[in-house]
Structure 1
């Protein structure tokens, strides 16, 4: 039986501080008491507002700026085996090199487009401003993120713009919040939904609005106090929304839809006198059309 090689002795463990100095200052931010950290978070988030932006669909990207109109044809991209001496340079660069000996050497000419001006970049910059990055505190560390997100939802104003009754951004925002953290959003008194409609026709299926009404009608879920705002839509859109309200059966959905119509200044219920006047006008229009068609046949 071969002899076993003896193991090397282990290094002694460092001495343990059984009684640390209570007056020593903490070295890291996470070592501060939670009360002090919350005070720092509230001070940093004093002027922060949350804006719920539209959600990009999978594969959808921001629109590209339009290509500048120019009659100049750019030289093609040089081949990899082409020597540098055969690559052409632009006339402006050659003249600059000959006139100013202290200038930088001219760059190689490729199919690089000319630099766009500010007017060309304006649409893309405005579009990027509608997709802001998260707050820096939420990107620092996992500990700071878990402590900051509830304070954001509880103390910071939240604004959401709904275009053409598409509640997809708001549904996506709520889906990212765990059910146990909805209580923080429920304590926030500054929750505003702005309803914007620009169409002059019926809005279509509105699946996202049905999901939102179903979500708001759930009595076993924490419901934040969202407040609706908006301008009066066109008559067709108003009649379409009023017709959808009339067909609803559940009380929770119907009550939430009445809040939406009230914020958009659309009468949820039309009185009988107005309805009779509308029916009389429609009957009078049909009578005029039939009389005009009869005159055209006789004439």
Structure 2
């Protein structure tokens, strides 16, 4: 996984690029109507029950735009809020509030939706050892915020990108000539390049699992698109050889059955690619 410093760098890039995209050479609507030195206050209004996420991001955005911005949080990331709740109040330059409004709302609405969905999975998995994982199925340019939201909702981040973990999936295995060859080539590559990266290998059937467990140095086996019954067999076969992860169309209604098989993780792309934004609004006070 990437370091906290690397993660913060990704957040800084998102803020800078989003403001470049949205503001360009100036918010001319505000510049035309509002005096440069005007001060204003606003509140973030929750208009839909949710797990709130992105409060710290909002603070970073407004302080990036105006270092004198003051935010008074009425909740913290991960809190369950209801319709009518106020998440924070803001005091800042009026032009600065309007400059950051859309970025903050776009981010928080999506982050809160992801956190809410993730929390639903963690609730279903409560009492088991299984944790819910995200994937790389994220919005381009927005990944760091979506993965941050997963953590706020109680989930666990998978690898951040292609560079911080090895994951040998079906295409890698087929191009390499088989699962044995893919593992051998990967381990040779890591040694030659002096890289210390964890290796996850996808298994498509029990036969591939039997091959994978003949190799040392495997961090996790991805039990992909297995039935509930075959997942239980796979977990028993793998034992304590390495970590286990189930994936492939697992929903809230089926997650508990897979968890009861004893897998360490369930990964779900739907946490980030299939959510509807939570309704939030920034209102002047």
Q: TM-score range by the shorter chain?
A: under 0.3
TM-score (norm 2): 0.25
More RCO (CA 8 Å, sep 6+): 2
TM-score (norm 1): 0.24
Larger radius of gyration: 1
Whichever structure has more strand as a proportion of its residues is: 2
